[in-house]
Chains A and B, each alone.
Chain A
């Protein structure tokens, strides 16, 4: 995928920071923290909705970055993509843990009923002034509402294809097709920008 000179420079700087973090350099870690803190916190907050949970997740992610920087593989994606993936995975783990506890308290059904309906409608339309986010929102707006919902439930809620099919009351094949068409469409639009 092509990148602009500015994106290339960002990536080079971040790769260098990760290499220095792998060498246990605190100053590099602090610089990466400054670069990523807002986007990772905003991402965790979008998943988890509460400041306390989001802070917990961001803390975990930065600990992972410090501990695992040496294992980072540039071939698997950009540093920011790696950090966002860690944030998403930690957030989903936490959502699932919260849901497990909620089930134990017999409150699960109530919580999901309140949360899902609002979340699915709103999750893909957050306000962000950055140009990239603007382009991303435009790309997402070209998906059908059905495709957006499937991607939303999978990416932001951490549901599997079978869980999505159950939740939507749709055949599994329909869910698969929507995920494929939606993500392939986004790739087509966003590919040159990534």
Chain B
């Protein structure tokens, strides 16, 4: 392959415009040719800089509350607070790790057929046709916890709301997981921050290549954790997914 051809492929890849067989061929080249990969990364940085040509505008004030609400919970907190501070610290928290029922996502059956289309998700769990809604139930020490997931067709995502969540030790947080209906892959949907009153709410955007959704689960994870699946007991889960 000539230098000119490599530059062409690198430029098109940097612009995310490669497709078909050429994309696969180029990926193979990038893996073996460090200079080709470097050129592609440099051109991608140049291409991304084009975004700076956007007309200067101010982000709406309301956007801040919306983003903070989506990340940290419904009620924006004062800027000095941290994630850990937002979780109520109580000394009477039960021995959660031992008591919580272990419900492994690996044993989830294929009974549910929740499917996301352009407008409707979680059909199998809806109480009625007009309510794209799925309930999650708690286990063990979390039997008093409930959560629901509601599809928002306007924003094309899910609102997850939970109540009755016990406080966790400072180093732990609740984390949301989704199970892809087609692949069975588990998707990390991020942290669910508990408010002092035991409520939690967050907006979940479809992630990865999800085209259908079998259900949702909430587990307890170390604050700094990220990963491909829950590393600790799942404490709330879609009933249809119970093993």
Contacts and interface: CB of A to CB of B under 8 A. Distances in A.
B17 A154 contact: yes
Contact of B191 (A22, A30, A67, A137): A67
A109 to B, nearest CB: 19
A162 B19 contact: yes
A179 to B, nearest CB: 5
B98 interface: no
A191 interface: yes
Nearest to B79: A30
A184 B48 contact: no
Size class of the B contact interface (CB-based, 8 Å): 35 or more
B41 interface: yes
Interface in B7-57: 7-8, 11-12, 14-20, 22, 41-57
A92 B64 contact: no
Given A22-B224, A56-B155, A124-B53, A29 B64 contact: no
A7 to B, nearest CB: 12
B157 to A, nearest CB: 8
A128 B54 contact: yes
B12 A161 contact: yes
Given A22-B224, A46-B55, A136-B50, A155 B15 contact: yes
Given A26-B83, A67-B226, A128 B50 contact: no
A108 interface: no
Nearest to B72: A26
Contacts of B81: 26-27
Q: Which of B15, B55, B81 has the most CB of A within 10 A?
A: B15
A60 B48 CA distance: 18
A70 B59 contact: no
Given A179-B17, A187-B43, A128 B53 contact: yes
Contact of B15 (A43, A45, A70, A183): A183
Dominant secondary structure of chain A at its interface with chain B: helix
B58 interface: yes
- Interface size on A, as a range, is 35 or more
Interface string B184-225: 000010110000000000010100000000000000000110
A62 B82 CA distance: 16
A70 B50 contact: no
A21 B84 CA distance: 12
Contacts of A41: 57-60, 63
A177 B224 CA distance: 46
A147 to B, nearest CB: 10
Contact of B53 (A126, A129, A177): A126
A63 B68 CA distance: 9
A160 B18 CA distance: 6
Interface in A119-166: 123-130, 132-133, 136-137, 140, 151, 154-156, 158-162, 164
13 contacts: A33-B64, A37-B63, A45-B57, A51-B60, A56-B156, A63-B71, A68-B226, A84-B51, A154-B16, A160-B19, A162-B19, A176-B12, A183-B43
Interface of B: 4, 7-8, 11-12, 14-20, 22, 41-60, 62-64, 66-68, 70-72, 77, 79-86, 118, 155-156, 173, 188, 190-191, 203, 205, 223-224, 226
Interface of A: 1, 22-27, 29-30, 33, 37-43, 45-46, 51, 55-56, 58-60, 62-63, 66-68, 70-71, 76-78, 81, 84-85, 87-89, 92, 97, 100-101, 104, 123-130, 132-133, 136-137, 140, 151, 154-156, 158-162, 164, 176-177, 179-180, 182-184, 186-187, 190-191, 194
Given A77-B41, A186-B47, 9 more contacts: A33-B67, A41-B58, A59-B67, A62-B70, A77-B48, A100-B118, A127-B56, A133-B52, A158-B16
